[in-house]
Each structure stands twice: as C-alpha cells, then as structure tokens.
Chain A
Amino acid sequence: EDKVVQSPLSLVVHEGDTVTLNCSYEVTNFRSLLWYKQEKKAPTFLFMLTSSGIEKKSGRLSSILDKKELFSILNITATQTGDSAVYLCAVISSGSARQLTFGSGTQLTVLP
C-alpha cells in the first residue's frame, strides 16, 4: 500500500520566518510528487516534482525532490499571514488511473 507521511503535523511561526515542510513516501512505481495548499476548501496546486535534485520555485516557495531518499521538502521564506494553510503532499504512482495518494498535511499558522 502506498504511503505518504508529512511532518511536522503542525507548525506555528511568526511573519518573516522561514519554514521547511517535509514529505516522505513509500510507493511502488513512483512517478511524481505534488504539493498543494489547502486554505478553506479546495487544494490548490503548487508544484509537481518528477526528477531528483531539480528545485522548483515560485516566489517565496520552493521545493525539491530526493528520489533516492524518498522525500521532498517545501520551503517558504519570509512567511506572511496569507501563507497560513494546510500544505498537502501527494504522490502519483503508475497505477492505471494515476490517482493521488495524499499525506495528512502540515497545518502552518503564521502569526503577525
């Protein structure tokens, strides 16, 4: 059974801090790893990672994948209160329908 584990489960920081969120996985036939941000309802897509060592970057957010050690990290620099959300990690394996297997998420709270 595919497994995705995120840590920490929750994190409280102050504006301006830098945070690192972790995602480790055990899946058969790994294909890609995705990060989503979930504020109130729908998960919104952040990054898709398929190759080791290539950093994806979008503004203050960046992410990297290590396929040898089976983990990914999501970094957020200079955090803002608007970054407060649940950050979800999900993997796609080569099943027939390419569904996502999600981790439990990290609840990030950024205090002013």
Chain B
Amino acid sequence: EPEVTQTPSHQVTQMGQEVILRCVPISNHLYFYWYRQILGQKVEFLVSFYNNEISEKSEIFDDQFSVERPDGSNFTLKIRSTKLEDSAMYFCASRLTGGWNTEAFFGQGTRLTVV
C-alpha cells in the first residue's frame, strides 16, 4: 500500500541551528501539507503546497519556515534558527486532490527536539 515516508524519524538540534525535514508523499498525490503536534497538544496545520507553490499557511508558518519540492518526489520543511518551542512532532501529509472528499494520508512523523 502506498504511504507517505518521512526522514529522519528523530532529529535533535541545537537552538539556533537550521533543520530540514524530509517527506516523500504518495506518488500520484497533488496536495502536500505540513502539520505539527507539540507534545500533549493538538495537531496544527502549518502549510499546504500545490503546483509548486504555497497555497495556504497558518500564522505559525512565519519567516522562520519554508517549504520546497526540490525534485519530483521530495517535499521538505526547513526551519531556520530553531527555538526551543519548535520542539514537536512534524507530520507530512498528502492528498490525491484538493477536493473536500479525499482523505489526507500522514507520514510517521519526525520528532524534532531543540536543545
């Protein structure tokens, strides 16, 4: 069964460093998302990406964050100058279409720990 894959599964970084979280969405999917879940809190939307550009972003997704689809398969989230409060589980998701009746498939997540 096709799945969304994320690497690494766990990343530890020092405050102020830059991290890149990687995702390979399901191959024929067209809409890609990043969500995050701070420990004990709800899953929060960060950004959506379609047709090689950001289609929507939340207020969390400020200038510290950027996304890219550098080739036909990878979808990355870059976090510059990481802060302690960026520690969270980051989920990538993809959907076949942008319609309201298609579900999102989630990757296993990257646990980011900023120390």
Contacts and interface: CB of A to CB of B under 8 A. Distances in A.
Given A41-B108, A104-B42, A97 B100 contact: no
Interface residues of B, number: 28
A79 B44 CA distance: 29
Contacts, number: 67
B105 interface: yes
A76 B42 CA distance: 22
Q: How large is the interface on A (under 10, 10 to 19, 20 to 34, 35 or more residues)?
A: 20 to 34
Interface in B50-108: 50, 55-56, 89, 91, 93, 95, 98-101, 103-108
A31 B45 contact: no
A100 B34 CA distance: 11
A42 B91 contact: yes
A98 B99 contact: yes
B43 A43 contact: yes
Given A98-B31, A99-B33, A103-B42, A31 B103 contact: no
Contacts of B106: 36, 42-44
Contacts of A20: none
Given A97-B50, A100-B43, A102-B44, 4 more contacts: A90-B43, A98-B100, A99-B56, A100-B104
